[in-house]
Amino acid sequence: MRIRLIADGSSKWQRMIRRWGIAFLVDDDILFDTFGDARVFRANVRRQRIDLAKVRHVVISHDDWDHIAGLWDVLGQYKGLKVYVVPHFDPALKKRIRSFGVTLVEAPAPLMVREGVFTTGELSGGTARGILYEQSLVLRDHGRLAVVTGCAHPKLVDILTAARGHFGQDVDMLMGGFHLKDMEPGEIKTTVRTLPRYGVRHVVPLHCTGALGVQEFERFFIGNCHHLREGDVLEV
Ligand SMILES: [Fe+2]
Ligand SMILES: [Fe+2]
């Protein structure tokens, strides 16, 4: 299976001009999140020669603005799509999605999007902004699991616990926004060092992981902390 980073927004200059969010493409047919700026999303899709007509499924991790900006273009242009959100997704946004005539799937529990691609179901996490609800993507190929997170508001450990509990196996690779940017250095260290207990051998920190978090991943996952830039494709 291939996963492409369409847009990330985590580099210093991107943050400076408020270019923020994340978006992935799994093989040709699954979009996972749609960045926080529709113009940037569109431009990256064009530049990377992505054919969105092949997309069948759009999975949205959670309803924060930096994950949904490119969605409306996609829904307006392509028919027959299935959109996957969590039950606690903003009701007004759900209504707006349905207005495009697409199938809206609200997944409280893990479900299969298509062969080898699953959601974790809705997980929740307490944050400074209150409780946030989110789902992650799980890819299973050659018997190995990769977990892809949007922001990881429910916390990495809880996401990994849920994935391992449901699939009954370790998670080999963890990729995405890890939301360590607001954590104390001690907590970041503990989180990073706990991950091998879940089987994690490869990490790809992106988006809201934060500079300190990325540093800690590099230090602890020597040689197995991978850096993806926009347009990069990873075989999982
Ligand atoms: Fe978020
Ligand atoms: Fe985010």
Distance CA 151, CA 134 (A): 8
Distance CA 111, CA 45 (A): 27
pLDDT at 182: 87
Q: HSE of 209 in the Cβ direction (CA atoms, 13 Å)?
A: 32
Write a three-state SS string for 146-163.
Answer: EEEECCCCCCHHHHHHHH
Domain count across the chain: 1
Ligand in closest contact with the CA of 206: 2
Instruction: Name the β-bridge partners of 112.
Output: 118
- Ion ligand 1 residue ranges (Cβ < 5 Å): 64, 151
pLDDT at 18: 78
Q: How much distance in Å is there from the Cα of 207 to the middle of ligand 1?
A: 10
Task: Give the closest residue to 88 by CA, choosing from 111, 57, 121, 59.
Answer: 121
pLDDT at 17: 81
pLDDT at 10: 83
24 within 8 A of 148, measured Cβ to Cβ: yes
Whether 96 shows a pLDDT value over 90: the answer reads yes
- The 8 Å CB, 24+ separation contacts for 70-78 are 70/23, 70/34, 70/35, 70/37, 70/38, 70/41, 70/42, 70/45, 71/34, 71/97, 72/38, 72/96, 73/38, 73/41, 73/42, 74/31, 74/34, 75/100, 75/102, 76/100, 77/52, 78/52, 78/53
Whether 78 shows a pLDDT value over 90: the answer reads yes
Report CA-CA distances (Å) from 29 to 6, 39, 139, 212, 230: 13, 21, 13, 34, 18
Cα 197 to chain centroid distance, Å, stands at 22
Residue found by looking up tokens 């996401």 in the block: 159
In the chain, DSSP finds a helix count (H) and a strand count (E) of: 7, 15
How much is the mean pLDDT over the chain? 96
Q: Which domain holds residue 71?
A: 2-235
47 within 8 A of 73, measured Cβ to Cβ: no
Q: How much distance in Å is there from the Cα of 67 to the middle of ligand 1?
A: 7
Ligand in closest contact with the CA of 127: 1
Q: How much distance in Å is there from the Cα of 142 to the middle of ligand 1?
A: 31
The pair of three-digit structure tokens given for residue 208, joined into one six-digit string: 């809201």
Q: What is the CATH number of the domain that holds 22?
A: 3.60.15.10
Ligand in closest contact with the CA of 134: 1
Q: What is the pLDDT of residues 84-94, one digit of tens each?
A: 999 999 999 99
* Dihedral pair phi/psi, residue 93, rounded to 5°: -70, -40
Distance CA 176, CA 21 (A): 11
pLDDT at 35: 97
Q: How much distance in Å is there from the Cα of 64 to the middle of ligand 1?
A: 5
Q: What is the pLDDT of residues 105-142, one digit of tens each?
A: 999 999 999 999 999 999 999 998 999 999 999 999 99
Residue type, 125: G
Whether 6 shows a pLDDT value over 90: the answer reads yes
Q: How much distance in Å is there from the Cα of 59 to the middle of ligand 1?
A: 14
* Dihedral pair phi/psi, residue 201, rounded to 5°: -115, -30
Whether 218 shows a pLDDT value over 90: the answer reads yes
